[in-house]
């Protein structure tokens, strides 16, 4: 059974804010404050949208006590609540029906809160933190690490209950479909820390391997969509596999301008039978046929923004920036799967 949750990522605005003369990094809100006019993203991927709320962590570097985690109401512009956390976040919080997971930048503080901001538990990451995701089968938290795969923390108390892809450096964040979990960059030898090259599917109910394929190092990101797993690997190329059977469905042509390279900041978005692929750092954009992997359109990352290819819009907030311009933050409709991340974009507009 899949347990839906709502999560959204806001892309970084740091490039603009940190260069502006009016940037104020120490803005703090209290419950009941109006937040819209002075809102700052802080330049980190640390915000999530769910049910007309924006869950957002401040980015204060001066002291541990300076970091706050907020629930902001998108309809009223009022701060619902604010709680202290030990570190700012570089990953968006995970928002469920009755709970929130928040992870600090280095993983030195991982929290579960209820929806009113009450802390249920706090733990440290088992290894060097690289991100987190939800296990939708049981609402446990999957904590991804830099060199030691992924750990599963129990919903009730944060205790480690599973360890996947042990000693696999640069493994991908796992994705889930029904009772299956798929992870890339896995290796057989767990005695040494090294890059793995396997894409492995396990049956989460019994821990047994269902299938595995050689896909090369650093397959990232993995995305699940309608029972299939998609990944970007060296080339860069995109590959698609059926999750239940492990059948390889297709492999795309080279997607970037530098053939034989690894993508640096790849993203995938699924839209009505098409896959929008783009690399923020390399500026490449491709639109592929979801069934065949054929490249239909080539372009630049900016084309994604200009053509508004990403998705429909629910809320608009104009954030003051430099030079008399604004950033328009566009927040999307409700989501129901951990694979549907990165559904927001920022479009710089002149007054």
Q: Are 67 and 112 in contact (CB under 8 A)?
A: no
The tens-digit pLDDT sequence of the chain (351 residues) is: 444 333 333 333 333 333 333 444 456 788 888 877 666 544 444 677 777 788 887 766 555 556 888 898 877 888 999 998 888 776 778 888 889 999 887 767 899 999 999 999 999 888 888 888 889 889 999 998 888 999 999 999 999 999 998 988 888 889 999 999 999 989 888 888 888 889 999 999 999 999 999 998 888 788 889 999 999 988 889 999 999 999 999 999 988 777 777 777 787 878 889 998 887 666 778 889 999 999 998 877 666 555 544 443 333 333 333 333 333 333 433 333 322 322 332 333 332
**Residue 269 in domain:** no
Cα–Cα distances in angstroms (integers) from residue 339 to residues 41, 134, 145, 204, 281, in the given order: 23, 10, 19, 18, 21
| Distance separating alpha carbons of residues 214 and 248, to the nearest angstrom | 11
Cα–Cα distance, 89 to 118 (Å, whole number): 18
How far is C-alpha 296 from the geometric centre of its chain's CA atoms? 26
Range of the domain at 65: 1-124+310-351
Query: Which pTM does this prediction carry?
Result: 0.76
Please give the pLDDT value at position 26.
Answer: 56
SS (H, E, C) the chain: CCCCCECCCCCCCHHHHCCCCCCCCCCCCCCCCECCCCCCCCCCCCEEEECCEEEEECCCCCCHHHCEEEEEECCCCEEEEEEECCCCCCCCCEECCCEEEEECCCCCCEEEEECCCCEEEEECCCCCEEEEEEECCCCEEEEEECCCCEEEECCCCCCEEEEECCCEECCCCCEEECCEEEEEEECCCCCCCEECCEEEEEECCCCEEEEEEECCCCCCCEEEECCEEEEEECECEEEEEECCCCCEEEECCCCCCCCCECCCCEEEEEECCEEEEEECCCCEEEEEECCCCCEEEEEEHHHHHHCCCCCCCCEEEEEECCCCEEEEEEECCCCCCCCCCCCEEEEEEEC
pLDDT at position 80 = 94
Q: How far apart are CA 185 and CA 200, in angstroms?
A: 8
**Do residues 75 and 66 touch, judged by C-beta distance below 8 A?**
no
Structural domains of the chain, count: 1
Tell me, yes or no, whether 335 lies in a domain.
yes
In a domain, 39, yes or no: yes
Dist CA 308 CA 345 (whole Å): 9
Match 């709970």 to its residue by tokens. Answer: 99
Dihedral of CA atoms 167, 129, 54, 81 in degrees, nearest 10, equals 130
Asked whether residue 245 is domain-assigned, the answer is no
Q: How many CB atoms lie within 10 A of CB 205?
A: 10
> Phi and psi (nearest 5°) for 64?
-60, -40
The pairing of strands 194-195 and 198-203 is unpaired
Q: Is residue 77 part of a domain?
A: yes
Q: Is residue 69 part of a domain?
A: yes
Residue 106 within a domain: yes
Q: What is the CATH number of the domain that holds 13?
A: 2.40.10.480
Residue 221 counted as domain residue: no
């Amino acid at each position: 059974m899949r347990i839906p949750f709502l999560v959204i990522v806001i892309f970084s605005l740091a490039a603009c804010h940190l260069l502006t003369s009016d940037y104020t990094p120490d803005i703090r809100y209290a419950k009941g404050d109006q937040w819209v006019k002075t809102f700052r993203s802080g330049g980190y991927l640390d915000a999530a949208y769910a049910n007309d709320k924006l869950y957002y962590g401040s980015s204060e570097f001066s002291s541990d006590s300076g970091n706050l985690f907020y629930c902001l109401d998108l309809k009223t512009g009022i701060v619902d609540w604010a709680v202290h956390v030990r570190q700012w976040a570089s990953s968006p919080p995970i928002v469920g029906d009755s709970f929130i997971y928040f992870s600090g930048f280095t993983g030195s503080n991982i929290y579960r809160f209820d929806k009113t901001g009450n802390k249920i538990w706090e733990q440290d990451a088992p290894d060097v933190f690289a991100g987190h995701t939800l296990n939708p089968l049981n609402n446990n938290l999957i904590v991804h690490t830099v060199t030691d795969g992924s750990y599963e923390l129990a919903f009730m108390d944060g205790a480690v209950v599973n360890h996947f892809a042990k000693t696999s450096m640069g493994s991908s964040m796992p994705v889930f479909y029904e009772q299956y979990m798929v992870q890339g960059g896995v290796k057989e030898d767990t005695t040494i820390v090294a890059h793995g090259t396997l894409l492995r599917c396990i049956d989460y109910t019994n821990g047994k391997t269902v299938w595995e394929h050689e896909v090369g190092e650093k397959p990232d990101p993995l995305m699940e969509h309608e029972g299939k797993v998609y990944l970007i690997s060296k080339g860069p190329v995109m590959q698609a596999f059926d999750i239940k059977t492990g059948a390889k469905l297709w492999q795309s042509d080279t997607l970037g301008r530098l053939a034989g390279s690894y993508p640096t900041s790849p993203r995938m978005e699924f839209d009505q039978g098409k896959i929008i692929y783009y690399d923020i750092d390399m500026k490449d954009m491709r639109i592929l046929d979801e069934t065949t992997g054929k490249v239909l359109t080539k372009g630049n990352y900016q084309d994604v923004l200009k053509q508004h290819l990403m998705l429909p819009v629910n809320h608009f907030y104009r954030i003051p920036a430099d030079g008399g311009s604004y950033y328009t933050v566009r927040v999307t409709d409700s989501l129901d799967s951990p694979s549907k991340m990165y559904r927001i974009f920022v479009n710089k507009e002149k007054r």
